[in-house]
Amino acid sequence: MRILLLSQFFPPIVGGEERHVRNLANALAGRGHQVSVATLWYPGAKPREWDGKVRVHRLRGTLQRMGGLFRESERRHAPPFPDPELVAGLHTVMREEKPDVVHAHNWLLASFLPLKLWSEVPLVVTLHDYSLVCAKKNFMHEGRICDGASLSRCMPCAAAHYGAIKGAVTSIGNFASRVMSRRGVDRFIAVSHAVARYNGLEAAGVPYRVIPNFVPDDVASLTTDTHPELEQLPREPFLLFVGDLMHLKGVDVLLTAYGQLAAAPPLVLIGRVCPDTPAERPPNVHVFSMWPHEAVMHAWRRCLFGILPSVGPEACATVIMEAMASGKPVIASDIGGMPDLVDEGETGMLVAPGDVGALRDAIQHLLADRQLLEAMGTNALSRVNRLKARAVVTQIEQTYDEVCREKRATGPRHSNPYSASRAAE
């Protein structure tokens, strides 16, 4: 099968979503599919290159030329509405690759929808967050889970986040793209039940499946332990948090809870420093940034257990899977997609989001009961198999087969300009 993945970012720009798309591309190529990726260009990048067996097309967008619009020069996000240059670039990629199916991730979808609406190529969209209904993508309003999307609520909320003009444009563009996507998308994939629920997929009557993110089958196979970063880790056993060091991830809650513990082991935080990263922290807290992924996996292997106390509805935390693959339980907030991953009392513990006392007590409980800690780690190592590539990618392939069969059953409405049968043109 010829598969085109759309992702606004792709390595070397790395985050959880980017790592997922790369892992998916490599897994599909390893199964014999012809895979390509269309993504945004960044300064210094080549327009086309190979990532193993995967061909990567890096596209320039009109808004990406306006660097002042973005907080980070490398992360110049795709807009939630069609960008003229991106539409043209995707049109060229489609003619060249002639995919059997297109699988989109995040807002690059908006620039593909004008092409989809007059083509016959099946379109699958994975929702990694709440961007179908939320311009901020996190489904949070005034510090709590939003009651539901509406322009009257979303525009002021987005304006407070992005600024008045950018917030208004983003909200209106996202609303319009949501209407178009419900017409043009053949199948949505939600990475958790919370993502499906808050994006309103069932209420809208659109076809969807819940398929989690995944980790590679060999994610815990580490090639070397000579990374210089590892020398910075405490010599004694430690607690570990991995993720953006921001309020939404509950870092301030974690630091407060940790500060109330008596004689606790060191706490290690690995992640990106953000504008709201707490400036003060209790003694024995170690903060590291910009670590290579394998070094992070070594940290998981060396830690006692992980902590992910998000106060927002985390969609599908890959770091929980990485902890499980390392045989480590996780204390996580009972919110968003985390209950899909953590089996309470068996592979970890779930606590109320933002509850400092509950988090403190859960940490203390695991520290005091090493037998329970070991049993949870063993369970985690066993149950992570359902979250590895061999299990999850099979479900994604089944989704591709379903939409392609449905498209063949309904028959073409008009000539498909991207059909592989026109490759000689």
For residue 415, give the CATH number of its domain.
3.40.50.2000
Regarding whether 379 and 399 lie in a shared domain, the answer is no
| CB distance 328 to 380 below 8 Å | yes
25 and 155 fall within a common domain: yes
Domain membership flag for residue 219: no
Same structural domain for residues 158 and 276? Answer: no
Q: Could you tell me if 397 and 379 lie in one domain? A: no
370 shares a domain with 392:
no
Does any domain span residue 252?
yes
pLDDT in tens, the chain (425 residues): 999 999 999 988 877 888 899 999 999 999 999 999 999 998 888 999 999 999 999 999 987 666 555 555 556 778 889 999 999 999 999 999 999 999 999 999 999 999 987 788 999 999 999 999 999 999 998 888 998 888 788 889 988 888 888 888 888 888 888 888 888 999 999 999 999 999 999 888 999 999 999 999 999 998 877 889 999 999 999 999 999 999 999 999 999 999 999 999 999 999 999 999 999 999 999 999 989 999 999 999 999 999 999 999 999 999 999 999 999 999 999 999 999 999 999 999 999 999 999 999 999 999 999 999 999 999 999 999 999 999 999 999 999 999 999 988 886 666 677 776 544 44
Same domain, yes or no: 133 and 252 = no
Whole-angstrom CA distances from 157 to 145, 146, 168 are: 12, 10, 9
Number of domains within the chain = 2
Does residue 154 contact residue 171 with C-beta atoms inside 8 Å?
A: yes
Cα separation, 93 vs 112, whole angstroms:
11
Same domain, 265 and 186: no
The answer as to whether 373 is a domain residue is yes
Q: Is residue 278 part of a domain?
A: yes
Cite the beta strand spans of 48-154 per DSSP E.
48-51, 54-59, 101-105, 123-127, 140-141, 144-145
Same-domain status, 289 and 169: no
**271 and 380 inside one domain:** yes
User: How far from 409 is each of 124, 362, 400, 401, 406, CA to CA, in Å?
Assistant: 17, 53, 14, 12, 5
Are 78 and 205 within one domain? yes
- The reply to whether 399 and 355 lie within a common domain is no
Residues with Cβ < 8 Å from 180, sequence gap 6 or more? 110, 113, 117
- Tell whether 222 is covered by a domain: no
d(CA 30, CA 54) in angstroms, rounded, equals 10
What pLDDT, on the 0 to 100 scale, is given for residue 150? 82
- pTM of the predicted model as reported, rounded to 2 decimal places: 0.90
| Same domain? 352 vs 362 | yes
Residue 339 lies in a domain: yes
In a domain, 221, yes or no: no
* 159: containing domain: 2-214+388-422
The two three-digit tokens of residue 238, written as one number: 């430690």
